[in-house]
Every structure is written in structure tokens, then in C-alpha cells.
Amino acid sequence: MSDIFIERIKKSANLHESKLVLALDLSYTNKKDLLKFAKNTTNTLGDYICAIKINFHLLLPLDLHSEVKTITGLAHSIGLQTIADIKLNDISNTNEVALSHLWSAGFDALTMNPFIGFDALRDAILYAHKNNNGVIALVYMSHKGASDTYGLKVIDPKSNTTVQMYELFLDWVEELNADGIVVGATLPEIIKRCSARIKGKVPIFSPGVDTQGGDAKQALANGSDYLIVGRSIVEAKDPKVQASQIRQLTWS
């Protein structure tokens, strides 16, 4: 891989005319059904999306280096990028071990929680970039309780001024050249503020569309670059129709 993650996902978006990331948050308990459904869903919806996001729904029950790798390999074969949504949050040494396993399993990027601190976030981003892969930092999650932490007022150690936690994370992301940020589609005003701050330098990935109450049009209008959608597509009566409709919103 010669291109960095940001460029690869742009190419995938252009290829499929879509800025829709499909979240494979599947709840099958039968391991064989889970793997089969994940592969079938990726294949079926590949023309409507630019990337797949895999979290613990698949990472825990499936073998990382064989079964999960078949899913990432399939995604790559149809021009998609792959994101491990593990919200990594540990010391630098442990993070590096986790990253090395994810890269060998075929992932192009992962999500990280900046609560680990500036230095550990920096180390992870540097390690990812050595492998031409990406780190997408959680700046403000989409669930209802996110304000309990991401909205906390804290003292910025550099400016000695009071800011909200997500604003501090946003400063770190810009300084460290992260490959994206996560801001929930349920928070259109926060998306707008983040977009105004980063001015297109870092792409905004927004989960929480439909099922959690986020509005796709509003998120995009306020500055989201990519929409992350899972259950409202996967559990739809006709996933292709649902994916096509959201894809059109992202590419209008």
C-alpha cells in the first residue's frame, strides 16, 4: 500500500460514489451464520459504500487472523476500506501490540479514545502512519451519555483556559495529524463547531444515524464527511434500497 488511509478512503468513495461506511454490527449467535452473513452483506452492499466498520460483534466471536481476515480481504477485493472499531484506550506498548494484530488481519484504520492522553495518542498515530494506516479519534460519541465525559469542562494545559473535553481532543487531533474524528450524527451542533475548527483538514465520521436518532441530512449539512450506518441498513427489509438512499445523500 503506497497511499495513506485518508487517500485510500477518498479513492473508494470516488469509485463507489458514496461516503457511506457500513457498520457490520451483527448479532448472530451462531458463528457460522455470523461469518456468512458478514461476507454476504459486504458483497451485496459493496457498490453502495466506501468502507466497512467492524466492531466487537465480529471481533470477539470470530478468529481475527483467519475469519475476520476473510472479511477484510473480501472488502479490499471490491475496493473498500476497513475500519476496526475497538475504541483503543491503553498504554503505548499495549496499543502497538493491538495495532500490529489489526494490521495483519487486513484493517486499514481503527478508532481510538483520546482519553489515553496526548503522548499515547501520538505514539499510536505515528505507528499507524509507518504502516500507511490510519487512526480515527473519538471526539464526541453518539450515545446519550456521551456528554458526561466528552462534554466535561477541563483546563487546557497549554493555554490554561477552560474548554470542553471534546475541544481539547480536537486540538490534539489537529496537532498530531490524525486521520479522522468521530462525532455523533446525534450532535449536529457539535459537528458544526468541529467542522468550523478543522476546516476540512481532518474528515468527520458520524455514527448514530436513524437508530440512535441522528439525521443524515442534518449531519452532512453541518459538516460530516462520512456517515457510519449499521442497523438501519442491515436490519432493513431491503438493505440495498436503504443503503442506496443514504448513499445518494452523501454524494449529492
Quick one: cell of 223?
459538516
| Single-letter amino acid, residue 243 | A
- Reading phi first (left if > 0) and then psi (alpha if -120 to 50, else beta), residue 208 is in left
**For the chain, how many helices (H) and strands (E)?**
11, 10
Which of 87, 192, 201, 237 is flagged as catalytic? 87
**Residue 207, H or E segment:** none
Torsion over CA: 94, 75, 195, 217 (sign): negative
DSSP letters, 218-252, are HHHHHT-SEEEE-HHHHTSSSHHHHHHHHHHHHT-
Whether 201 is a known active-site residue: answer no
Q: Which residues are annotated as catalytic?
A: 87
